[in-house]
Structure 1
Amino acid sequence: MSIPANNTLDGAALLDEIEAFHRRFNAFPTPSAYVAVVLWDAHTHLLDAFESTPRLAFLSPEPGSGKTRGLEICGTLVPQPMVAVNASPAALFRAVSGMEGGRPTILFDEIDTVFGPKAKDNEELRGLLNAGHRRTGVSYRCVGDGGQQTVQAFPSYAAVAVAGLGWLPDTIMTRSVIIRMRRRAPNEHVEAFRSRIHEPEGHALRDRLAAWADNVRETIEGSFPDMPEGVSDRPADVWEPLLAIADAAGGHWPERARAACVELVAAATAGDKASLGIRLLTDLRDTVFCGADRMPTAQILAGLTAMDEAPWADMSGKPLDSRQLAKRLGEYVTADNEPIKARNIRTGSGVVKGYYASDLYDAWKRYCPAPKAAESATPATDSG
């Protein structure tokens, strides 16, 4: 059920102004990215009206893509911004559970230092970010000295925006609206952001946004906005607060929000690291096996690494090998609920290790998009 727009304050016009403010300083990759970020900004003022809060993730493969500036502009528009690039886990726990002046909005730059290949002992931070997605989320820690320690639950629910290079773990990616930033082209221009000049402009918008949020809070609480067709499960949890904001604002925002939802959910599904396994399964079905009922590992690897515009020839500087193939396929199971693994295949020159299409078929059916061909061969069942 959609939420009727509140007419006391013109929410649609206010969101338009916030979008224009972002466009002055941020070169986001698509119009949908502006829509999502504006709605995320607004939802931070209504956090307790929702059961969960989506993370906002500015990610890029290279530095100099505008990620930090994205966080910076958001920081002028959200309540109690807390830049957390150098914050300790203890400081974040205390801030989220009882910061004077209200719950902070955490803006975490250089998130790759927490989750990326250079990350080390950051389990506490990871736990806080994971637990704080839900309003009921808490993190348990021991407090006190020596034998006087007790277990204390720290509320973890807080809005979080992150920026970093590369990717994030699945537990964060699937809870995030992902904005894949890129370096500006020569013809893309943005205004230089000067804190002393422009921050007060953002704060003025923030204050108006807070007033509007208070005006629509009762309308939004407990609402269940209509989801676009095909958006369900975790993506629906991520987008529900943003669509509720758009419906409350009215105007063109409900339509734009749902179009952005469909576009960004599809982009995340197609491009994130979590879907690399689906890409592997699909390439095996459509390009490598092509109806064959079994295939030696060496032949599979040769077929995969020969594919144009596929990642298999360069997996962190090396081509996909038999160990990596086994690890990735082993995450999926056969129709008998056994991990997919290499088995013996008898050839004219002897016995080699390889994979049977019958073992892959259930995963193909469950995870892969429909084959492009009108018909796809059902692999024969092998008894060996």
Structure 2
Amino acid sequence: MSGMDLNEKAGAAPTATGLDDAKAYDPAFPNSANDGEPPEGEPSDADGIDGADLLNRVHDYARRFICYPSDTAGIVHVLWIAHAHLMDAWFSTPRLAVLSPEPGSGKSRVLEITALLVPSPALSVNSSAAYILRKVADQDNRPTILYDEIDTIFGPAARGNEDLRGMINAGYRRGAKVGRCFTEKGKVLTQDFSTYAAIAMGGLGDLPDTIMSRSVIMRMRRRGQGEKVEPFTPRLHEPPANILRDELVAWAASVFSLAETFQPILPDGISDRNAEVWEPLLMVAELAGGQWPDLARQAATEAVQSAKANNKPSLGVQLLADIRACFSDKDRLTTADLLNKLLADEEAPWGDLGRKKLDARILAKMLGEHGIKSSTIRMPNDSTPKGYKREAFHDAWKRYLPPLEIGATSATDATNQESPDKTEASRVADKTALPPCGGTAEGVAEPES
């Protein structure tokens, strides 16, 4: 069954693949129910822009100066740039996290090129939360925030900067506001600040989990031998970028009403927060048409599956996984035996929890958060020590852990086995044929069928 059939069966507005098909379902669009007249306030000549060709040319331009780490990264970058021109059409806006483990990996260049192509760019380094908040609060002149060296704000040596993190998290959705107090003539007054804005960040390491979960991620790396890009010279290279930006503005105006009304078909496995993150980018691809819908779905699938495979579990989830491995085929374990098994793995964190090792009290507290409690158990030798029954873990294991693979009997196996999602992500990655950096190839390669 096609994507359109699925929507119609569910009673939703029909979706479309590409701009040409989508026009037929929007009565406000030129050449449909308006007798060729463009929607009020939209340029009459914007309908002639080929969205797929425009995104191809944006991609070609960016690749001249950016060595993308993968085909997916290039696709994501172009879609994010285009989505910034349609901010009033979205319910949520993904953050773009341009990260790397080492300096000199091209993060700043990504933000510099992005600044040339997005609306009202505000490229900054080490700006205060108050400055960013007041820039974004002017929604009539909403900026696109490009924040370089974000690791100085959220890195290990930083203090957390909760005001800025809260603004970045809140502004992920349209209509979000944060409240502040100020004094005037001795009175304490309140003021609401709008926080909705497109934000791209570049930095070393990772960002706080709350921001990462709202982001599409480009993990940059230093260029390898044979990977070349053109030197960026603003005097020579800004004028063609300005032309592309103006075309993006006109194209966005021509498809704005469509972007507000129909929903893309999301790939399998993309739901909840991931759906909110990827929906605007998938919508851009659908509106552009051509090869972009297929490329965007492949990129979304690869990125989400890769993130799932590489996500570091929380300490609580790791404890559940390690305990499952400790139980093996047993139906009960004494607390002492369970602790000995957990502490036997020198690479696990249980021997050093804030300068303490895991003990019965800490174990009980951590498991109690999942509703798991110790009890008096009868062992084969008729002793009745404190311990845990396997059945007490069943619900938590089903909720927080993947099904245990046959033969995974050690704590290491339980926490480090390769995820099937990761294997699938590798297959998806092989399907796109976009050169990651350098050159000025014409167009975007067709994905393999």
Specify the TM-score bucket, using the shorter chain as the normaliser.
Answer: 0.7 to 0.9
TM-superposed CA distance for 1:268, in Å, is 1.7
2:104 aligned to which of 58, 64, 68: 64
The residue that corresponds to 1:245 in the other structure is 284
CA-based RMSD of the aligned residues comes to: 3.4
* Residue 223 (structure 2) pairs with residue 194 (structure 1): no
Deviations 1:26-67 (A, max 9, x none): 222221111111111000000000111000111222222222
SS at match of 2:97: strand
Q: Is the 8 A contact 1:59 1:164 kept in 2?
A: yes
Deviations 1:168-202 (A, max 9, x none): 22221111111222222223222222222222222
C-alpha change, 1:162 and 1:140, in structure 2 (3 Å) is: same
Which ranges in structure 1 are unaligned for 5 or more consecutive residues? 306-310, 377-384
TM-superposed CA distance for 1:163, in Å, is 1.2
Q: Is the 8 A contact 2:326 2:338 kept in 1?
A: no
Mapped to 2, the partners of 1:35 and 1:362 lie a distance apart of 40
* Residue 343 (structure 2) pairs with residue 301 (structure 1): yes
1:161 counterpart letter in structure 2 = A
* Residue 257 (structure 2) pairs with residue 218 (structure 1): yes
Mapped to 1, the partners of 2:294 and 2:85 lie a distance apart of 22
Equivalent residues in 2 for 1:73-92 (5 A)? Answer: 73-92=113-132
Which ranges in structure 2 are unaligned for 5 or more consecutive residues? 1-13, 21-47, 410-449
Mapped to 2, the partners of 1:77 and 1:248 lie a distance apart of 18
1:5 aligned to which of 2, 14, 18: 18
Equivalent residues in 2 for 1:15-26 (5 A)? Answer: 15-26=55-66
SS at match of 1:261: helix
Q: Is the 8 A contact 2:364 2:373 kept in 1?
A: no
Deviations 1:103-159 (A, max 9, x none): 100011121222222222622211211110010111111134462331111111000
The residue that corresponds to 1:379 in the other structure is none
C-alpha change, 1:225 and 1:161, in structure 2 (3 Å) is: same
Equivalent residues in 2 for 1:258-277 (5 A)? Answer: 258-273=297-312
2:97 counterpart letter in structure 1 = A
Stretch deviating more after TM superposition (236-245 or 69-78): 69-78
Mapped to 2, the partners of 1:94 and 1:280 lie a distance apart of 43
C-alpha change, 1:109 and 1:301, in structure 2 (3 Å) is: farther
Q: Is the 8 A contact 1:142 1:149 kept in 2?
A: yes
The residue that corresponds to 2:178 in the other structure is 139
Mapped to 2, the partners of 1:281 and 1:273 lie a distance apart of 14
Mapped to 2, the partners of 1:329 and 1:109 lie a distance apart of 40
C-alpha change, 1:354 and 1:186, in structure 2 (3 Å) is: farther
* Residue 399 (structure 2) pairs with residue 360 (structure 1): no
Q: Is the 8 A contact 2:350 2:358 kept in 1?
A: no
Stretch deviating more after TM superposition (222-231 or 274-283): 274-283
Mapped to 1, the partners of 2:364 and 2:126 lie a distance apart of 35
C-alpha change, 1:373 and 1:6, in structure 2 (3 Å) is: same
Deviations 1:289-322 (A, max 9, x none): 43344342232132362xxxxx759999x99952
When the two structures are superposed, what TM-score results if normalisation uses the length of structure 2? 0.72
SS at match of 1:139: strand
TM-superposed CA distance for 1:218, in Å, is 0.7
SS at match of 2:158: coil
Mapped to 2, the partners of 1:260 and 1:320 lie a distance apart of 43
Mapped to 1, the partners of 2:316 and 2:226 lie a distance apart of 37
When the two structures are superposed, what TM-score results if normalisation uses the length of structure 1? 0.83
Aligned residues: 362
The residue that corresponds to 1:322 in the other structure is 358
C-alpha change, 1:276 and 1:114, in structure 2 (3 Å) is: same
Mapped to 1, the partners of 2:122 and 2:240 lie a distance apart of 19
Mapped to 2, the partners of 1:353 and 1:233 lie a distance apart of 40
1:322 counterpart letter in structure 2 = L
1:115 aligned to which of 128, 135, 154: 154
2:240 counterpart letter in structure 1 = E
The residue that corresponds to 1:291 in the other structure is 329
TM-superposed CA distance for 1:258, in Å, is 0.7
C-alpha change, 1:183 and 1:220, in structure 2 (3 Å) is: same
Mapped to 2, the partners of 1:269 and 1:210 lie a distance apart of 35
